[in-house]
Chain A
Amino acid sequence: MATPPSLLDETVADGEPLARFLLSSSHFNSRSVKASAFLPNPTDQESSVFRHGGEPREGLWEIAKQEVAGERTVHGAGIVIAVQVREVKLAVNSAEPPDRHAVITDWPWFPSDPDIQKARQKELALILASQAKLVMRY
């Protein structure tokens, strides 16, 4: 099995936590992460995540600053487990560099009807959001 630069296994194990960083205050409320936070990038239809479970927190926020946010504010992260992603028929694969980076793929794809595509993606994102643990930075 090939090993990415981070020394993590190339295969994302079912039990691995995945952190989706939250740069918009609209992507969470006081109780939970919202579905929009997990929707894929419209260009490549992938959701970028990092293989980190939230502890140690300093490590999580360092990844966010170095690889995602730059000077922007990172409010927190929504953390799901890889098996939860796979249970809704999405895939998660390592995608380094950067270290620990992975992507959620296989989102419903209907280029002939983008509104149906969006609705189906929202349904899956709602499920991920319902299972996500909200980790706030402040």
Chain B
Amino acid sequence: MFEPVSSSLGILWFGYATASAYARRDSAVSSEANALREAVAGVVVNAQRSEVLFGKTAAALSELYSIAAQCSQPDWDGAGALPVDLASLSFAADFIKLIPSSLPLPEVTCDPDGAISLDWMESKIRVFSVSVSPSGRLSFAWLDGSDRGHGVARFAGDQIPPRVLEGIRSIVGYGDATLAA
């Protein structure tokens, strides 16, 4: 039975075990990390109240929170990276929930600037990557053989911008449009 879960982040659902483990951590070196931990802890409580889940979207959200936990401390990459940004995390969760079921779900990555990236990687030379900024703007780029490009689109959390959606479709083989920079 499917049943939505509410949360202070507006996140419907995520990897329960991962988040539980993250929420129980007893050390954090930044206010950002503390805020993230507390937010995740709040979601855990909500998840405990109502269990839910829907297949591959749930798995992708689980991965999102697992990766965010890995990147919650400053310098998580050993090269001065910023901790993952809560607003970016929330927008990324919204984005994942809006991906049509006909499309594969992305691989989740942390960026050094604290943003979350969502990557569709058909091969090393067929990739579409979207970074979700704290403001909700999407910075995206693609590589399709010798063709490549980039763009920016606004994301309000309720609809994936058509240009981004078509870009993903083109890379994963479900679209017939040629991307234009």
A31 — which chain B residues lie within 8 A by C-beta? 121, 123-124
Instruction: Give Cα distance in the complex from A42 to B76, angstroms.
Output: 13
Q: Which of B134-164 contact A (CB under 8 A)?
A: 135, 137-143, 148-152
- Which of A35, A39, A72, A123 is close to B78, meaning CB atoms less than 8 Å apart? A72
Q: B58: shortest Cβ distance to chain A, in Å?
A: 18
Say whether B125 faces chain A, with CB atoms less than 8 Å apart. yes
Beta-carbon contacts of A80-123 to B below 8 Å, as 1s and 0s?
A: 00000000000000000000000000000000011110111011
- A24 and B110 alpha carbons, distance in the complex (Å): 8
Q: Does the CB pair A29–B107 fall under 8 Å?
A: yes
- Distance, CA A115 to CA B151, complexed state (A): 9
Chain A residues whose CB sits within 8 angstroms of the CB of B61 once the complex forms: none
How many interface residues does chain B have, given as a range?
35 or more
* Interchain CA distance A59-B131 in the complex, whole Å: 34
Chain B positions 109 through 142: 1 when the CB is less than 8 Å from some CB of chain A, otherwise 0: 1111111010101011101010101010111111
- What is the CA–CA distance of A91 and B143 in the complex, to the nearest angstrom? 21
B108 / chain A contacts, CB cutoff of 8 Å? 26
Given contacts A48-B79, A118-B113, A127-B148, contact A24 B70 (CB under 8 A): yes
In the complex, the answer to whether A35 meets B119 with C-beta atoms within 8 Å is yes
- Contact A21/B78 with A41-B112, A115-B133, A119-B151 known, Cβ cut-off 8 Å: yes
Determine if B111 and A39 form an interchain contact, defined as CB atoms under 8 angstroms apart: yes
Q: Does B173 contact A (CB under 8 A)?
A: no
**How many Å from the CB of A51 to the closest CB on chain B?**
16
| Contact residues of A between 18 and 55, Cβ < 8 Å to B | 21, 23-27, 29, 31-32, 34-36, 39-44, 47-48
Q: How far is the CA of A68 from the CA of B77 in the complex (A)?
A: 8
Instruction: Check: B55 CB closer than 8 A to any chain A CB.
Output: no
Which B residues touch A114, using CB under 8 A? 133
Q: A34 contacts B107, CB within 8 Å?
A: yes
A residues in contact with B139, CB < 8 Å: 115-116, 118-119, 122
Q: List the interface of chain A (C-beta within 8 A of B).
A: 21, 23-27, 29, 31-32, 34-36, 39-44, 47-48, 68-70, 72, 113-116, 118-120, 122-123, 125-127, 129-130
11 contacts between A and B (CB under 8 A): A26-B109, A34-B117, A35-B129, A39-B111, A39-B112, A39-B113, A118-B139, A122-B139, A122-B150, A123-B141, A123-B148
